[in-house]
Structure formats: C-alpha cells, structure tokens
Amino acid sequence: MPTTMTYLDYNATAPLRPEAAAALAEAAAAIGNPSSVHRFGRDRRRRIEDAREQVAALAGAAPGQVVFTSGGTEANQLALGGAFAGPPARLIASAIEHDSVLAAGPATLAPVAPDGLIDLTALATLLAESAGPTLLSLMLANNETGVIQPVAEAAALAHRAGALVHCDAVQAAGRVTLDMAALGVDLLSLSAHKLGGPPGVGALIVADRVALAAQVVGGGQERGRRAGTENVPGIAAFGAAAVAAAGELDQVGRLAQWRDRLEREALAGRSDAVVFGAAGPRLPNTSCLGLPGLSSETQVMALDLAGVAVSAGAACSSGKVKPSHVLTAMGRPELADSAIRVSGGWATTEEDWNGLVEAWLAAHERRSARRKAPAVAGV
C-alpha cells in the first residue's frame, strides 16, 4: 500500500486554501447575526459584503448581483425556479448538463456533437419552437470532460428568441477568466468548494434585468432573493478563495501542459485509449480518459490502491459509479462506463501527474493477465 496519496479529483472538490481556512476560522470565532443593527451584527454584515465584492470580481459582475446560496446545486435550482414569476417556463438544457439541472424538472435536451460542444443549429431550432417564457441552461465547462461551451454564441441565439440564459460556471470559476457581460448570460452559478473554498456555500449571479423570484422564503436576506440567516464563515471563506483563485489565473497554463503530457503518454501506452473532448476547447486542469474493457470503477479502485485519487466522472451521486450520461450524449455509449476523470488544481504539482499513467496502464495489464491466466482444475 502507498504511504502517501496523490489527489487528482479537484472537479469533485478542491482542497481548502490556506487563505480560505484562515477567513473561515476568523469568521467562525466572531458572534452576531448579520441582520442585527448592533456592532456585532454590523461586523458580520461587513464580512458578507466584503465577500460579495470578492466573488463578484471573480465573476466579472457587480456586487449587488450576487446572491449567496448553500452551494452550486441550490444556485442552479434557484436560477431554474426563480428566473420567471408565474407558471414554470420551458427549460432547454444541453444534454451534458449537471444532474442538478437535469433533475430539476422537465427539460428539452439540446444535443452535443462528438467533441462535446452543443449543436448550435439544433439549439436554434429548439428556441424557435418555444411559444412562451423560455430558459436556456448551458454550462460553461463540463464537469467530466472539461469541454468549454460556446456560451456567448448560444446566449445570443437565446436572446434573439426572447429566452433568458442560465450558465452553470461551477467548474470554470478559477480556471478560466469569467466575464458575465461578455458571456451575455442572465444568471451564473458558482460554488466555493470547487475553487478552494469550503463546501456548503455558493452563489447565483443575477443580471439586473432579471426579477428573481425567491425559492427559499421567510426573511428578507439577500435582498429578498434567498431567505435564511447567511452562512457568514462560509461566505467569508468563499470570498478569500475567490481572491486567491483570481490571482492565479495567469498560472493555470501549467496545468494544461501537465495534462497534455499525461494524455500523450496514455495514448502512446495504449493505442485503444481514448481522450474525450480533446478536439474542443477544454479547461486546463481536466482530462477524461477511456480504456475499453476496463470499467470506471475498476480503474478508480486500482489507482486508489496505487496511491492516486481520481473519479469516474461526476462525483455527486453518493459514491455511486454509474455510466456517464455526458459520454453517451457525445455518441460514445460503449465507453460510458469505462472512463475516468483526472483533475488538478491550485495545490497539484508536476510530480502529482507523473505517476498516474504508469499506474493506469499497470491496472490494465493486471486485468489482461488475469483474463489470460489458465483456469486451475477444481477451482
């Protein structure tokens, strides 16, 4: 058994940054309700508003547009449920969206091409068929393959058809530069723990033109858009992580270099290996590798035994490993249960990536050797 573990599962959750840990501890030690008008309450309110400015800066938005939530899932569902007042709107979502979008309600799925990019021609047809209020939900970067979607182009199509646009930017934040105005979206979801903040806190960025209807009601917190006493320690840590992530954006290119070398070695070692989404633009930290004949679960377990932590696609199903709906939508259903996701981040090093291919290929060789071994009589 390895004495140390290499963590390459940042798309599931990133390690807590020191800056975020310090902000979390400091805010947790303070007292007061941020809605109170006394000195303690005002101090808590200041911490929230400071973090609101920091998160807004990461998203290229205004502080007043930030609504803090319990995480990316709530941010997505607040967007889908609150974008329109009155009866639910028609939801159009890409076929590769996160489960928190696809499970939120009935949706018309826009197909993607084999490279993982949304089919804009098909999207335009779906938008033209909408007769009433319509919301398009399109992620900025896929959580399994890292493929970056043409959100600005899709948003332009949607707006011409009179639709609003929600963008799940949870995986993209801190890995590519965000600019809400340039993307042209009306709602943008973020999550703290993907970029080195704590779990349990996220944000929905809401354009001024959207009259968001609260889904959690009761108090007047978050300007009436999300009731409940704010998670001040989590929010403060989110702000600190946002500042740190924004300051490192000029360094993420090194992750792409290490990722690309990993993929070259994998393809050189196994001619039947597949790199999903490699033909399109991708996040610099993400690689989705497929190995026919070897299940995702087997690969993850073998790498874990070798001291490397990766995942089998999305890690939001209570530890269950299931075939990837993303790879199925990309036209590779035969490999949907044979892929792993490797993802690095702020604390990974070049050495962390170096041993992965060797361990990955060794797992396949062991599997092949067991299949070729002659059966023992009587066993």
CATH code: domain of residue 226: 3.40.640.10
- Residue 320 scores a pLDDT above 80: no
Determine, yes or no, domain membership for 378: no
- The predicted-structure confidence for 22-78, as pLDDT tens digits, reads as follows 999 999 999 999 999 999 999 999 999 999 999 999 999 999 999 999 999 999 999
Determine, yes or no, domain membership for 312: yes
The residue out of 247, 274, 301 marking a domain boundary is 247
| 3-state SS, residue 155 | helix
> Which positions are annotated as active-site residues?
316
Regarding whether 130 and 50 lie in a shared domain, the answer is yes
Token pair listed for 258 = 């290490």
Token pair listed for 221 = 């917190």
Q: Are 167 and 151 in contact (CB under 8 A)?
A: yes
Mean pLDDT, range 191-196, rounded to an integer: 98
- The predicted-structure confidence for 201-225, as pLDDT tens digits, reads as follows 999 999 999 999 999 999 899 999 9
Regarding whether 230 and 165 lie in a shared domain, the answer is yes
Mean pLDDT, range 124-141, rounded to an integer: 95
Regarding whether 205 and 261 lie in a shared domain, the answer is no
Regarding whether 284 and 239 lie in a shared domain, the answer is no
Token pair listed for 197 = 């903040």
Regarding whether 256 and 343 lie in a shared domain, the answer is yes
Q: How confident is the model at residue 2 (pLDDT cuts 50, 70, 90)?
A: low
Residue 233 belongs to what domain range?
A: 18-247
Buried b / exposed e over 60-88, threshold 16 CB at 10 Å, is: ebbeebbbbbbbbbbbbbbbbbbbbeeee
Regarding whether 289 and 221 lie in a shared domain, the answer is no
What pLDDT shows up at residue 1?
Answer: 54
| Top-confidence range, 11-25, 77-91, 286-300, 363-377 | 11-25
Regarding whether 229 and 140 lie in a shared domain, the answer is yes
Regarding whether 119 and 166 lie in a shared domain, the answer is yes
| CATH code: domain of residue 293 | 3.90.1150.10
The residue out of 247, 276, 298 marking a domain boundary is 247
Based on the structure, what is the number of domains in the chain?
Answer: 2
pTM to 2 decimals? 0.93
What pLDDT shows up at residue 347?
Answer: 96
**Strand ordering across the sheet containing 134-137:** 66-69, 202-206, 187-191, 164-168, 134-137, 90-94, 108-110
- Residue 237 scores a pLDDT above 70: yes
Regarding whether 152 and 31 lie in a shared domain, the answer is yes
Regarding whether 285 and 179 lie in a shared domain, the answer is no
Token pair listed for 95 = 């076929």
User: What CA–CA distance (Å, rounded) separates 290 from 330?
Assistant: 13
What pLDDT shows up at residue 371?
Answer: 62
- Residue 379 scores a pLDDT above 50: no
- Residue 315 scores a pLDDT above 70: no
Q: Are 61 and 198 in contact (CB under 8 A)?
A: no
